[in-house]
Amino acid sequence: MQPDFSRPVLAVDTGTSFLSLALQTDGRILSCHTDAGNKQSDLILPQIGGLFAEAGITAADLGAVVYNCGPGAFTGLRIGIGVAQGLAAPFGTPLIGIPSLDAAAYLVRGHGVLAAADARMGEVFYAWFDTANRRRLSPYRVGRAAEISVPEGTVFSDGIGNAFALSDAPPFPGSPAMPTAADYLALAATGRYPAADAAHAELLYVRDKIALTAAEQAARRAAGEQA
């Protein structure tokens, strides 16, 4: 299944509290990027409808739908992929999933880029990249920020992602910037990420557990008080 970038392409990013949408059409990009909080499910379809109306298209005109496949906020990611599948399935439109850490990493250029995002529960999602040579240097991981180390044979060059805004940020300098849907569009256009039909679109799950039990939350608080 091949995407058609000569036709309009929609990108959807719901992996954080921001609802970020971008529609590439006729050589221009129409976008929406707003802090939606817990109202993403209420806002996403009206906002997409607004972009379609501005461009004078419908879902049937799309050559591909790009989506943030994670890691990120579990509920937000489910909303995003559900809407992407709903738009694509009736017309056999290809879907392209872009990992959120890739989208963050490629905001900067370097041979040892750490992309790290808030994973809640005292942890961060992270991976290392050589964006200058378009390579990922490590698996996608989740863990305590303080435990992140540079892969063997790699020299740290830059850090990027909202984990760097946390009080317990990774032990490296970095910018808290995060990608927008337009950045996902740009990565999809490189052709480095495979397309799938709606039935086979997937999310990238780095963490099996999405919430702590009450006992685990209490244990974390106690550990913090003793630190």
How is the chain split into domains, by residue range? 9-99+179-196, 108-165
- The CATH superfamily holding the domain 9-99+179-196 is ATPase, nucleotide binding domain (3.30.420.40)
Q: Domain 108-165, what fold?
A: Nucleotidyltransferase; domain 5 (3.30.420)
pLDDT one digit per residue (tens) for the chain, 227 residues: 799 999 999 999 999 999 999 999 999 999 999 999 999 999 999 999 999 999 999 999 999 999 999 999 999 999 999 999 999 999 999 999 999 999 999 999 999 999 999 999 999 999 999 999 999 999 999 999 999 999 999 999 999 999 999 999 999 999 999 999 999 999 999 999 999 999 999 999 998 644 443 443 455 445 443 33
Q: Do domains 9-99+179-196 and 108-165 have the same CATH topology?
A: yes
Distance between CA atoms of 69 and 180, rounded to whole angstroms? 14
91 phi/psi in degrees, rounded to 5: -115, 5
pLDDT of residue 19: 98
Q: Which two tokens stand for residue 60?
A: 């049937």
Closest listed residue to residue 207, CA positions, set 114, 89, 77, 31: 77
- Sort residue 161 into left (φ over 0), alpha (ψ -120 to 50) or beta: left
Instruction: Tell me which DSSP letter residue 145 carries.
Output: G
Closest listed residue to residue 19, CA positions, set 58, 56, 46: 46
Looking at residue 162, its amino acid is N
Bridge partners of 114, per DSSP, are: 128, 159
- Sort residue 37 into left (φ over 0), alpha (ψ -120 to 50) or beta: left
Bridge partners of 74, per DSSP, are: none
